[in-house]
Structure 1
Amino acid sequence: MEEKEEDAEASGSEVSVCLQKITITDYSTDDYQYEEVSADDEFSLQEGDEDLSEVLQAVQEQAEDAHILASKSVLTSEKSVSEIPEAMDDFFCNFLVSFGMSRTLDCFQTEWYELIERGVFRAKDVGFVPTVYTCNQQLKAENMRLREDLDNYKRAANKAKEAFLKMQKERDFHRMHHKRVVQEKNRLICDIRRLKAHYASYEPVLKQMTEKYQSALRQKMLTSLERDRAVGQVTGLQAILHNLQPGYAIQIPVKKAGHECERKKGLEGSTQRALQEARQQKMLDAGLVKDSEKKRYPKDSEFPVDSQVNSYLARAKECSQPLKHGEYKLENTLKLHDSAVSCLASHPLKDMVVTGSDDRLWKMWALRDGDIIMVGEGHTDWVSGCCFHPSGTQLVTSSGDTTVQIWDLSKGGCVLTFKGHAQAVWDCSWHSCGDFVASASKDSTSKIWDVNSERCRYTMRGHKDSVSSIEFLPFSNTVLTSSADKTLSLWDARTGLRVCTFYGHLHSCNHATFSPESNMIASCDTCGVLKLWDVRQAVPMLSVDTGPRSANQVAFDHSGCAVAVASSDGTVKVVQPGLGQLHSLQGHGETEMQSVAFHCPAERLLSGAADGTVCLWTYGASASMFSMERTA
């Protein structure tokens, strides 16, 4: 029994050795297929007197051995190509090629294949190169790769070390620089503190001097206004006394430079009351005013007769010479408002200008240096229009808050507010007599306000869209309006009725004004078209395209020979109809121009822009004179 077990063990070991040889020969180059010994054959060899249990144990052991060999065969099939045995001739050829022995390689191949052809030996008899040589070759290649990797790592380490040292130097440099900056910062902070303390010691003195300067400037302005008022009152009294003499008809003076509209009854003298009663009696006799209406509104002012002489005609004749190209030069640019300058008004007697802005303020400033003389605060929305009283002592302003306000410049505040428009008021104008104010609104209406009775005398209806501008014909009761309905209209302020309508614009009209001689009207629209109209014939005399951007405002110069247009393209267009020339004045860059006006006493052109700046343009000899004064 023991002998049989030994034989079984010996046979099991032989089978395992045989299977191991089969797995090795899988890498051979021959095509022979080895068959695996089945378990039935092994069982037939061991048939005899063995017990059934021993047979089952042997079968189980053989199954386990077969499973182990199958797993080994799978592992060996996954080996890399480099572990496959190499033929002897390939080994020699690869060896010679690796050392660059090309001639030796040729000799070897010649002799090798020659011996094979002679039949001296066969290549398969030589066999394969021993595994140890292949392993040595692989280890050598691996060693070379590792050396290359080691060299690469050394170079990378050296570069990293150099970069690290460089970063350390830069860190030390920046650290030292930071320390110097901190020291300089601390030193500057100390200097700033000392300067602040030094400035604080001077600040009370500077504040006191500024207050003194402003008070002196205001006192000078008030003194000038009081003097003008006194002169006007004397002139008015003289005219009243002259009219009250027997045999003379009561007439309104041509120029009421000293007329002052006060709100308090105590300021109304006996002479003024007598004049007012005489005027009322004359109107009653003429049948122009009803007795019941006069009793209801006893303070209503009467409109002057239209036979007054226009004092601007003589000035226009004196300054009738045409302009030359390039006469207007940019003198100065003043930053006066934080928002757009929407309107300009020149003082009739002094070198002062009032500007209204979208910042809800109006400012009166000196013309040459731009010093602020007075600031008006009271409107709750943008200021759209402004106009001086003929005497220069009062100012009327219109606003987007639907109100019209009258300001007393000597008091520095608002003395009267007119409310009645339903929407924003675009423009306002003062009558030459100083007793009436006209306003144009977005609600498609215009109103005539009585300053003395503080009420609306007439509401002029007829335009189909917003009324953009309004202006009294100088020394007349005629009112000119322009509207977004593309028309211009002339109105009788005494009755509130429309007299004439001008048709010709193809786009909404933005502004219209009379010429100094009152024989022409200039108007502009949203497409940049400027039109000149004959007042007597109500037809357009000339049409000039200054576009394609909108023309926002138009103004005649004191001679009536040139027209200035404020354009949305950032330029002021000066048109000379008599010469057929059009010049562009560039002063505000690309900023939209919203207002333009001429200051006759100083022969200057003023332009306001949407960036809150005002440009002063000087004409002709006054520019050189002004530059000589500034140089001196």
Structure 2
Amino acid sequence: MEEQDEEEASGSEVSVCLQKITITDYSEDDYQYEEVSADDEFSLQEGDEDLSEALQAIQEQAEDARILASKPVLTSEKSVSEVPEAMDDFFCNFLVSLGMSRTLDCFQTEWYELVERGAFTAKDIGLVPTVYTCNQQLKAENMRLREDLDNYKRAANKAKEAFLKMQKERDFHRMHHKQAVQEKNRLLCDIKRLKAHYASYEPVLKQLTEKYQTALRQKMLTSLERDRAVGQVTGLQAILCSLESGCALQIPVKKAGRECERKKGLQGSTQKALQEARQQKMLDAGPAKDSEKKRYPKDSEFPVDSQVNSYIAPAKVCSQSLEHGEYKLEKTLKLHDAAVSCLASHPLKDMVVTGSDDHLWKMWALAGGSIIMVGEGHTDWVSGCCFHPSGTQLVTSSGDATVRIWDLSKEGCVLTLKGHAQAVWDCSWHSCGDFVASASKDSTSKIWDVNSERCRYTMRGHKDSVSSIEFLPFSNIVLTSSADKTLSLWDARTGLRVCTFYGHLHPCNHATFSPESNMIASVDTCGVLKLWDVRQADPIQSVDTGPRSANQVAFDYSGHTVAVASSDGAVKVVQPGLAQLHSLQGYGETEVQSVAFHHLAERLLSGAANGTVCLWTSEASVLSMEGTA
């Protein structure tokens, strides 16, 4: 039996662990053992019961309990392959797998007989691992490791290829970097050489620039002096003719009054003539009161209202050429760093003055846009500007509650007028050149005497801020617009209100006279444009250019076209007689704050909140120029 087991074990592919057992002679007899049940295995009969047998039975039961307790118990936490297998089960499974049924019967008979007899203990029997399971686990682990090895090899090959590729790219970029550094060094050398080359020209360029600016300024000053001299000669000739003929004194058209040299005590021809006429009148009427003479001896005399409006003839000439004209954008100039709040065209030259929220005003040439002069002095935004009728001086208003008069020949401020309690919105110069009007946020407007440098009249009557003010050309009538939704006409000689215009439903932003002085145009915060008959004080026509606010309005020199600066970024051109409304787009959504026509009636100028000025040219003027050519 032992040899057969060894042969079978050696012939098996799986190595097993065998235990050598010696079989006694009594196992070979033909004795038939009876089956004993578990309940009757150690039962004792009452008659044969003794102390020794009872103790032996107790010991055997304790030994069986210890053996059962020492056997491992399968739990759900461990798999079947992980639980060790008993020795007898191993042999039984082994013999069953080989089909050795007779050997299996003999083994079971002898094994369980020895166990029942107590020849084997639990320690002797022991446990053996499942060799097949271990081999399968090792084989699976080996296959898994081989797969991991193959994967690692492939990953290593890919990493090697990527590394080689990155090395090539690195070398390529390193080469290009070296080339770029060399090119940069070469360019730096060229730039240094060019800077050194052009640095030798900078002194010459600076000298030429200074000469050009000096020549341009000298040219402007010479032109202004010439115009002033021509005006003085014309005035003297007119006075001489009037004195020789003995006729009443007439004020020359566009003749300025006293030049702005108050500190030297000089007087212009107009004021000299007025003083001579006043003295003659005083001699005829008798001596005046000494108090009136000594109080304000430098006060100017208001001119008579019988002057002829010189704008009427040019308006008739221009009316036919601009009836069907539309405007196109010619150029855009960046002049200020803040919003352009006001515009004024020089009465005799192709020059324009713009005021801005950057506290500056600039005078520039209309042809090329080059800056001729910059005015510094206001401490807040510049709200209004207006040229002296002779073009030699300029008046500006500001948010600093002051009005300043600038002498262009001296390139500086010669007079600051203070008296308003709040910001000054607008200013205007009388056609005689001796009076300035200003409109303020404090609900008042003032008439200033340039010669005596004082406020002659404060005009009160508006219930809200006075937005704009303007002299009627060649007259003593003043037009004001207010946030109280009304327009008013005032007599500058007395400071009293003559007439009030009612019709706007929203605060008025600006109002102006037509060149022929028979019509008024006004705009309000909802974009409504109204045209008024001066003689009847009634609205003639109403045009809606909204819904955004209309900030300023201007007549062209024909009186047949009106331009409106709108907050929607467009300039609205209205031709009331033809019932036409054109929108000039040049700023996008940027607010247009100011608008004015050039004095030759060829261009329209508009200033916006982004500091730019647009120049618009009419098609009629272009066509006329082409026809002349």
Q: Same fold, TM exceeding 0.5?
A: yes
Determine the structure 2 residue equivalent to 1:183: 182
For the 8 Å contact 2:485–2:506, the answer to whether it is kept is yes
For the 8 Å contact 1:231–1:258, the answer to whether it is kept is no
Structure 2 residue ranges without an equivalent (≥5): 1-37, 39-51, 86-98, 100-104, 110-127
1:195–1:46 CA distance, 2 compared to 1 (3 A): farther
Q: Shift of the alpha carbon at 1:376?
A: 1.2
1:69–1:534 CA distance, 2 compared to 1 (3 A): farther
For the 8 Å contact 1:259–1:391, the answer to whether it is kept is no
Per-residue CA distance 1:185-221 (angstroms, 9 max, x = gap): 2212111111111111000111111111111111111
1:185–1:198 CA distance, 2 compared to 1 (3 A): same
Distance in 2 of aligned mates of 1:306 and 1:274: 16
Per-residue CA distance 1:327-367 (angstroms, 9 max, x = gap): 31221211111211111101111111111111111111111
After superposition, where does 1:154-173 map in structure 2 within 5 Å? 154-173=153-172
For the 8 Å contact 1:444–1:463, the answer to whether it is kept is yes
Distance in 1 of aligned mates of 2:491 and 2:276: 24
Q: Shift of the alpha carbon at 1:46?
A: 11
Per-residue CA distance 1:232-253 (angstroms, 9 max, x = gap): 1111212222343474334433
For the 8 Å contact 1:345–1:597, the answer to whether it is kept is yes
Q: Shift of the alpha carbon at 1:284?
A: 10
Distance in 2 of aligned mates of 1:183 and 1:45: 112
2:563 counterpart letter in structure 1? A
Determine the structure 1 residue equivalent to 2:238: 239
1:181 counterpart letter in structure 2? A
Q: Name the SS of the counterpart of 1:279 in structure 2.
A: helix
Distance in 1 of aligned mates of 2:459 and 2:77: 108
Distance in 2 of aligned mates of 1:45 and 1:487: 138
Q: Shift of the alpha carbon at 1:156?
A: 2.1
1:235–1:573 CA distance, 2 compared to 1 (3 A): same
Structure 1 residue ranges without an equivalent (≥5): 1-32, 34-43, 49-54, 56-61, 87-111, 113-120
After superposition, where does 1:473-512 map in structure 2 within 5 Å? 473-512=472-511
2:227 counterpart letter in structure 1? D
Identify which range, 135-144 or 492-501, moves more after superposition: 135-144
Q: Shift of the alpha carbon at 1:480?
A: 0.6
Q: Shift of the alpha carbon at 1:281?
A: 6.2
Give the CA RMSD over aligned residues: 3.5
Determine the structure 1 residue equivalent to 2:575: 576
After superposition, where does 1:2-13 map in structure 2 within 5 Å? none
Determine the structure 2 residue equivalent to 1:202: 201
Q: Shift of the alpha carbon at 1:518?
A: 0.8
Q: Shift of the alpha carbon at 1:139?
A: 2.2
Determine the structure 2 residue equivalent to 1:563: 562
For the 8 Å contact 1:235–1:258, the answer to whether it is kept is no
Determine the structure 2 residue equivalent to 1:313: 312
TM-score by length of 2: 0.78
Q: Shift of the alpha carbon at 1:590?
A: 2.2
Q: Name the SS of the counterpart of 1:239 in structure 2.
A: helix
Per-residue CA distance 1:27-75 (angstroms, 9 max, x = gap): xxxxxx9xxxxxxxxxx99979xxxxxx9xxxxxx9xx979977x9589
Determine the structure 2 residue equivalent to 1:14: none
1:444–1:266 CA distance, 2 compared to 1 (3 A): closer
Q: Which has the larger radius of gyration?
A: 2
Determine the structure 1 residue equivalent to 2:397: 398
Determine the structure 2 residue equivalent to 1:532: 531
For the 8 Å contact 2:395–2:405, the answer to whether it is kept is yes
**Is it true that 1:296 corresponds to 2:304 in the alignment?**
no
1:253–1:291 CA distance, 2 compared to 1 (3 A): farther
Determine the structure 2 residue equivalent to 1:37: none
Distance in 2 of aligned mates of 1:607 and 1:284: 52
Q: Shift of the alpha carbon at 1:380?
A: 1.3
Determine the structure 2 residue equivalent to 1:328: 327
Determine the structure 1 residue equivalent to 2:353: 354
Q: Shift of the alpha carbon at 1:441?
A: 1.0
2:345 counterpart letter in structure 1? S
Q: Shift of the alpha carbon at 1:279?
A: 2.5
Determine the structure 2 residue equivalent to 1:464: 463
Determine the structure 2 residue equivalent to 1:260: 259
Q: Name the SS of the counterpart of 1:305 in structure 2.
A: coil
Distance in 2 of aligned mates of 1:233 and 1:300: 20
Aligned length: 536
Determine the structure 1 residue equivalent to 2:3: none
Determine the structure 1 residue equivalent to 2:32: none
Q: Shift of the alpha carbon at 1:419?
A: 0.8
Q: Name the SS of the counterpart of 2:200 in structure 1.
A: helix
Per-residue CA distance 1:469-511 (angstroms, 9 max, x = gap): 1100001111111111111111111111111111111211111
1:379–1:130 CA distance, 2 compared to 1 (3 A): closer
Distance in 1 of aligned mates of 2:268 and 2:130: 139
Determine the structure 1 residue equivalent to 2:124: none
TM-score by length of 1: 0.78
Q: Shift of the alpha carbon at 1:628?
A: 11
For the 8 Å contact 1:331–1:623, the answer to whether it is kept is no
1:515 counterpart letter in structure 2? S
Determine the structure 2 residue equivalent to 1:27: none
Per-residue CA distance 1:149-179 (angstroms, 9 max, x = gap): 2222222222222222222222222222222
Identify which range, 448-457 or 482-491, moves more after superposition: 482-491
Identify which range, 480-489 or 138-147, moves more after superposition: 138-147
Q: Name the SS of the counterpart of 2:542 in structure 1.
A: strand
Q: Name the SS of the counterpart of 2:329 in structure 1.
A: strand
